[in-house]
A and B are shown apart, each in its own frame.
Chain A
Amino acid sequence: MTYAVELEDVHVSLGGSHVLQGVSFRVPTGGVTALLGRNGVGKTTTLRAVMGLAPHTGTVRVLGHDTGGLAVHRVARLGVGYVPEDRDVFVGLTVAENLRLAERVEAPAYDDAFALFPDLAARLRQRAGSLSGGQQQMLAIARVLLNRWPLLVVDEPSKGLAPKLVGEVADALARVATTSTVLLVEQNLAVVRRLAERVVVLDHGRVVHEGPVADLDDADLARQLLGVAAAQ
């Protein structure tokens, strides 16, 4: 089996707090792997370590390459699209400029992006700052689709979205996952159940569970790991 992402004994300290305390797990190539856990256990920090955005010790391999010492843009150029927790679209730029900035290949796949998010095609000249939260999330995802990269790292895509939009974003990610590996952080367990094949659960900066998504069907285990009822 090949792996799109491999972490071995990754430690991250932020502002004196030891956030990741030896995180090790592997993300198989293809499909969606969800990284779960209560608030504040280090999920976002783990994704940032994968992207090279969080200074860390230990080994991070992305698409077979050890990212030790690589600048963030070099990690991205290995073939990683990053959708951060707060979308981080460039609010002063238009939709078209946001997309143009993300182009890294000769023939960007605008057709793919607009097929998934036709609303964006009609708003190319609109400033991203004037888009709704849902539209900004679509833009954040669309801009990493342009390069048809093999790995997408997606942090809480449903956060703050109305239920209908959560469904649309999940639909889009489901289609994306047919061609790319997706490492997903998501609090909405319905979305996780729908998209993910595998789950990795963090607690107190460590991996406490790895397995198929069906493990979440065990109500006691889900409550123990995530502090939520499995039916949620």
Chain B
Amino acid sequence: MTTFLSLTFAGLALGAVYFLAASGLSLIYGLMDILNFAHGMFMTLGAYAGWDLATHLPASTPSALTFALEVVAAVAGGAVAALLTEVVFIRPLYGKPLSQVLVTIGLDLAVVALLLGGFGANSLSLPVPLWFLEASHVGAVLLPNADFVALVAGVLVLVVLEWFLRRTRFGIVIRAGVENREMVSALGVDVGRAFTLVFVIGGAMAGLAGLLYTAVFTGDLLSPLQGDGLLIFAFIVVVIGGLGSIRGSAVAAVVVGLLQDYANYYGGQHAGFSEIGNLSTVLLLALVLEVRPRGLFGRAT
């Protein structure tokens, strides 16, 4: 039972990071019909921005403040990367989905190559507080502190995002735009501004996801390719949850996170397959596409 609870907690933490990675992707596709392959690049750049800021701080043992500053840098880095991507590359290509796919893939490859050239292929170490590497007892279960951080961040972002989408005018514009962009324009609303904002929000969350993934799941090691690895799961979460649905992304992220953790552990223990989590996730994706192609919370098309 203790093992099961530990696995569940770790799966929820993984799900929280998947949610952060996927929700922006989902909104961007839902509102703008853009399959944004540069989203992985936003995650990687966010993590590198956090690392870069930490290396410029006075040398000392990383504290909670260090990590908080890394988070700010990651969010800002992801947001700025997304803003530039939307304004410079996507805006001239509205209505040209193939060109958008190609340009976002190209951007992603170019940034990975630049990071490899600039920082080398060896993984960098992200400074995190010592507390991150420790664990806390909750009842009889010992849970990693880093997982708490991921979980709290995921829940906080979900709550803030839901509030933003439900309570603010921009949020209403975005939700309406996901349904029928043309009609929003016909009501006199400048949907282009909403596009930019959604990109920036998605980029900010991706930057946070990249940093948290590094801090919580990679042993603090940062590599130029990690965003692309995370992007694959983000896409799976988006498709399972339903394109354009934040709640769908949240539910699907938790399901995928839990499934991966359970499958990896029990698959390794009882069936002799270790690392079976990825396969399980793809099988779940296939099942959802077969039974409910629009995803758990997706709108009918």
Contact residues of A with B, CB < 8 Å?
51, 53, 71-73, 76-77, 82, 84, 88, 90-93, 97-98, 100-102, 104, 143-144, 147
Q: Are the C-beta atoms of B179 and A91 separated by less than 8 Å?
A: yes
Q: Are the C-beta atoms of A101 and B173 separated by less than 8 Å?
A: yes
Min CB gap A6→B, angstroms: 20
Q: Are the C-beta atoms of A72 and B182 separated by less than 8 Å?
A: yes
- B179, B184, B185: the one contacting A71 at CB < 8 Å is B185
Q: Is the CB of B188 closer than 8 A to any CB of chain A?
A: yes
Q: Are the C-beta atoms of B179 and A100 separated by less than 8 Å?
A: no
Taking A73-B186, A101-B187, A143-B187 as known contacts, 6 extra A-B pairs with beta carbons closer than 8 A to each other, sorted by chain A number, are A51-B186, A73-B187, A73-B188, A76-B188, A101-B184, A104-B188
Q: How far is the CA of A88 from the CA of B186 in the complex (A)?
A: 11
Q: Are the C-beta atoms of B186 and A76 separated by less than 8 Å?
A: yes
Q: How far is the CA of A86 from the CA of B219 in the complex (A)?
A: 54
- B169, B175, B190, B191: the one contacting A90 at CB < 8 Å is B175
Max count, chain A CB within 10 A of own CB: residue among B169, B185, B186:
B186
Given A90-B179, A91-B179, also A101-B185 (CB < 8 A): no
Q: How far is the CA of A100 from the CA of B173 in the complex (A)?
A: 10
Residues in A with CB closer than 8 Å to B121 are none
Q: Are the C-beta atoms of A73 and B190 separated by less than 8 Å?
A: yes
**Cβ < 8 Å to A, chain B residues 156-192:** 169, 172-173, 175-176, 178-180, 182-192
Max count, chain B CB within 10 A of own CB: residue among A51, A91, A101:
A101
Residues in A with CB closer than 8 Å to B182 are 53, 72
- Chain B: how many interface residues by the 8 Å CB criterion? 20
Q: How far is the CA of A92 from the CA of B188 in the complex (A)?
A: 20
Max count, chain A CB within 10 A of own CB: residue among B178, B183, B188, B191:
B188
Residues in B with CB closer than 8 Å to A147 are 188
Q: How far is the CA of A147 from the CA of B189 in the complex (A)?
A: 13
Q: Is the CB of B299 closer than 8 A to any CB of chain A?
A: yes
B193, closest chain A residue (CB): A73
Q: Are the C-beta atoms of B183 and A88 separated by less than 8 Å?
A: yes
B186, closest chain A residue (CB): A82
- A72, A92, A98: the one contacting B186 at CB < 8 Å is A72
- B interface secondary structure, majority: helix
B187, closest chain A residue (CB): A102
Q: Are the C-beta atoms of B185 and A73 separated by less than 8 Å?
A: yes
Q: Could you pull out 27 A-B pairs where Cβ atoms are within 8 angstroms?
A: A53-B185, A72-B182, A73-B186, A73-B188, A73-B189, A73-B191, A76-B186, A76-B188, A82-B187, A84-B183, A88-B180, A90-B175, A90-B176, A90-B183, A92-B179, A93-B172, A93-B176, A97-B172, A98-B176, A100-B169, A101-B172, A101-B176, A102-B188, A104-B187, A104-B188, A143-B187, A144-B187
Q: How far is the CA of A104 from the CA of B172 in the complex (A)?
A: 14
Q: Are the C-beta atoms of A92 and B175 separated by less than 8 Å?
A: yes
Q: How far is the CA of A142 from the CA of B184 in the complex (A)?
A: 15
Residues in B with CB closer than 8 Å to A101 are 169, 172-173, 176, 184, 187, 189
Given A72-B182, A101-B176, also A92-B190 (CB < 8 A): no
Q: Considering the complex of A and B, which 6 residue pairs feature the smallest CB-CB distances, nearest first? A: A76-B188, A72-B185, A88-B183, A90-B176, A82-B186, A77-B188
Residues in A with CB closer than 8 Å to B175 are 90, 92-93, 97
Q: How far is the CA of A19 from the CA of B275 in the complex (A)?
A: 58
Min CB gap B243→A, angstroms: 13
Max count, chain A CB within 10 A of own CB: residue among B172, B173, B185, B187:
B187
A104, closest chain B residue (CB): B188
Q: How far is the CA of A93 from the CA of B177 in the complex (A)?
A: 11
Q: How far is the CA of A223 from the CA of B180 in the complex (A)?
A: 37
Residues in A with CB closer than 8 Å to B169 are 100-101
**Cβ < 8 Å to A, chain B residues 84-129:** none
Residues in A with CB closer than 8 Å to B192 are 71
Residues in A with CB closer than 8 Å to B187 are 73, 76, 82, 101-102, 104, 143-144
Given A90-B179, A92-B175, A101-B176, also A84-B184 (CB < 8 A): no
Q: How far is the CA of A227 from the CA of B14 in the complex (A)?
A: 65
Residues in B with CB closer than 8 Å to A84 are 183, 186
Min CB gap A157→B, angstroms: 16
Max count, chain A CB within 10 A of own CB: residue among B175, B176, B192, B299:
B176
Max count, chain B CB within 10 A of own CB: residue among A51, A76, A90, A102:
A90
Residues in B with CB closer than 8 Å to A82 are 186-187
Max count, chain B CB within 10 A of own CB: residue among A76, A82, A84, A92:
A92
Q: How far is the CA of A100 from the CA of B188 in the complex (A)?
A: 12
B184, closest chain A residue (CB): A101
Q: How far is the CA of A98 from the CA of B190 in the complex (A)?
A: 16
Q: Are the C-beta atoms of B184 and A53 separated by less than 8 Å?
A: no
Min CB gap B49→A, angstroms: 34
